[in-house]
Amino acid sequence: MSDETSDGTSSARKAGSKEQVVHDSAGSLALGIGLTLGGAVVLLVVGVLGFVPNATAFGLFMFIGGTAVVFGVVQTAIGVHQLALNIDNMAKAVLNGQLD
Q: Phi and psi at residue 32, in whole multiples of 5°? A: -65, -45
pLDDT at 67: 97
- In this prediction, residue 3 carries a pLDDT of 46
**Distances 71 to 16, 23, 42, 46 between C-alpha atoms, Å:** 38, 19, 14, 19
**pLDDT by position in tens, the chain (length 100):** 444 444 454 554 554 555 456 768 889 999 999 999 999 999 999 888 888 878 888 899 999 999 999 999 999 999 999 999 988 988 888 888 865 5
Phi/psi of residue 22, nearest 5 degrees:
-125, 115
- Distance in angstroms (rounded) separating the CA atoms of residues 76 and 65: 16
pLDDT tens-digit series, residues 45-56: 988 888 887 888
The CA distances from residue 91 to 18, 66, 77, in Å, are: 12, 38, 21
For position 1, what pLDDT does the model report?
A: 45
Helix 25-43 and helix 55-95: axis angle, to 10°? 160
pLDDT of the residue at 4: 45
Its pTM surpasses 0.85: no
